[in-house]
Amino acid sequence: MTLMRSPAFLGAVAMTAILAVYVAFVAQYAFILVRSDEWVSQVFGAAMFVLPAIGVWYLIVEWRLGFTVQRMGRQLEEQGRLPAFVGEQTPQGRLTEEAAEAAFANAKALVDANPEDWEAWFTVAYAYDEARDRSMARRSLKHAAQLYRKASR
């Protein structure tokens, strides 16, 4: 499945479009308030510009992370080093809790051995995902992306 047809990519595009509409409406009303004669409306309008600015910043950060993770995954796949964990699986195809814990222990050992290696952090992120800890998986992917960008300079 190509990137353009993946459900995650299409969902991200849809959320970006919704956010763009939201930003446009809020910015429009903020502009109207800033141009009014009342000082309270002007202050409120200026404050309303903060929300679209935060939304645009967050959008840029998330798209940047997504593209970086995509490049990292593609590079590992081309090298035949994409993380794959073996072990007992549930009927849904995920690792059992015990197998996921073992996979995480192996991945964590890689990070402990080389904490500045983006590939090790990428593997840890997937191990966290197998262990169903999405927040830590995301944090690990963010760290892996930072290390990847640093190594690519």
Asked if 71 and 106 sit in the same domain, the reply is no
pLDDT at 73: 92
pLDDT at 1: 47
Q: Which domain holds residue 103?
A: 97-152
What SS3 class is residue 19?
helix
Asked if 129 and 69 sit in the same domain, the reply is no
pTM of the model: 0.80
Please give the radius of gyration of the chain, using alpha carbons only, rounded to the nearest integer. 21
Q: Over the chain, what is the mean pLDDT?
A: 90
Domain stops at, among 45, 78, 111: 78
Asked if 21 and 64 sit in the same domain, the reply is yes
Within-domain flag for 104: yes
Within-domain flag for 17: yes
Query: 50-54 long-range contacts, Cβ below 8 Å, gap at least 24?
Result: 51/26, 52/22, 52/23, 52/26, 52/27
Q: How does pLDDT run across 25-72, given as a tens digit for each residue?
A: 999 999 999 999 999 999 999 999 998 888 889 889 999 999 999 999
Within-domain flag for 105: yes
